[in-house]
Amino acid sequence: MNGFIKYMCILAGLALVVSQYFIWEYAPREATMGEIQRIFYFHLPFAWWAFVCFFLVFVASIGVLAGKGMFWDHLAGACGEVGVLFTTLNLISGAAWAKGAWNTWWTWDPRLSTALIMWFVYCAYLVLRSGSAGSLKMRRISAVVGIVAFLDVPLVFFSARLWRSIHPTVFASSGGGLAPEMWHTVVVSVCAWGVMTFVLLYLRTKQMRAMQRIRQM
Amino acid sequence: MNYLLLTNVAIWLGVSGYVLFLAAKQARLEKRIKHLEFLNDKQG
């Protein structure tokens, strides 16, 4: 592990510790939902960083089809994995929040349904990738799937605005009805998970490159 | 409060699970590299 990524790992750890302080101590208790609302500070960063990861899968897949080299294939793979991890955690945290706030684990709301479809699509993408190591044809097929799969991402993002949804939209009204302390916590949490996302993507991409080199030897 | 705790446990289990997966892959990778270096030294 080189010096840069070592410092980034330490920074990610510290940022997550600071975000925990903001979530549990600094952010005020929400008046209507109470303590359960604190799930929001995990739920939102996971959703946003999963979207970023899936966008990177889309960009990297274009790079693969354009024949720009193996780096793009490794980046797409790493982003797919981290995106699926974050979407899984987003769905779990959303289900627990729904149980606390709406008294149900799941409802077939447009936002929830499109997010679940997105999760299935990217799981399928990872399954497809797992069998594509070394084969140019399979790498290209994975890249096409990586591009097509991204069609669902804007649908998830805009679903709560396009259709009648009980899922709140953070940017729907000015400030989303959040107190300034809550916004500070959102920013800190999003930044902390952003650093963590970068670290995970960097390590996994590098690892995939090393695995590819060994396979070629 | 129970749901909050449940979520917290699930999140940290998920993240640490992925980090452990990366660590295990890295350990296997380093073992393989050492083996290849050993074979290379033997041939050289």
Contact A200 B18 (CB under 8 A): yes
Mutant choice from B1, B7, B39 vs A, greatest count of A C-beta within 10 A: B7
Contact A39 B7 (CB under 8 A): yes
| DSSP of A51-78 | HHHHHHHHHHHHHHHTT--HHHHHHHHH
Q: The whole model's pTM is what?
A: 0.91
Residues of chain A contacting B33 with CB distance shorter than 8 Å:
210, 214
Q: What is the number of alpha carbons within 13 Å of residue A11 lying toward its C-beta?
A: 17
Segments forming the whole domain that contains residue A62: 3-216
Domain residue spans in chain B? 1-44
Q: Residue B13's closest chain A neighbor by CA? A: A89
Mutant choice from B5, B9, B18 vs A, greatest count of A C-beta within 10 A: B18
Q: What is the number of alpha carbons within 13 Å of residue A121 lying toward its C-beta?
A: 19
Please give the pLDDT value at position A216.
77
Residue pair A53/A80 in contact (Cβ under 8 Å)? The answer is yes
Please give the pLDDT value at position A92.
95
Shortest Cα distance from B39 to chain A (angstroms)?
Answer: 12
**Total number of domains constituting chain A:** 1
CA A187 to chain centre: 16
Q: pLDDT 10s digit of each residue in chain A, 217 long?
A: 678 889 999 999 999 999 999 999 999 988 888 888 899 999 999 999 999 999 999 999 999 999 888 899 999 999 999 999 999 999 999 999 898 888 889 888 888 999 999 999 999 999 999 876 668 888 899 999 999 999 989 888 887 777 776 676 666 555 567 888 999 999 999 999 999 999 999 999 999 999 888 887 7
Burial classification of residue A96, based on how many CB atoms lie within 10 Å of its CB (0-12 exposed, 13-18 middle, 19 or more buried): buried
Residues of chain B contacting A20 with CB distance shorter than 8 Å:
none
Residue A65 tokens, joined: 């089809």
SS3 content of chain B, % helix, strand, coil (to 5): 95, 0, 5
Q: Strand runs (DSSP E) across chain A, as ranges? A: none
Shortest Cα distance from B20 to chain A (angstroms)?
Answer: 12
Please give the pLDDT value at position A47.
95
d(CA A66, CA A61): 9
Please give the pLDDT value at position A49.
97
Per-residue pLDDT tens for B1-32?
688 888 999 999 999 999 999 999 999 998 98
Mutant choice from B3, B15, B22 vs A, greatest count of A C-beta within 10 A: B3
Collect all residues from A whose CB is shorter than 8 A from any CB in B: 35-36, 38-39, 42, 81-82, 85, 88-89, 92-93, 96-97, 99-100, 196, 200, 203-204, 207, 210-211, 214, 217
CATH number of the domain to which A131 belongs: 1.20.120
Please give the pLDDT value at position B37.
84
Please give the pLDDT value at position A1.
65
- Which residue type occupies A191? C
- ipTM attached to this prediction: 0.88
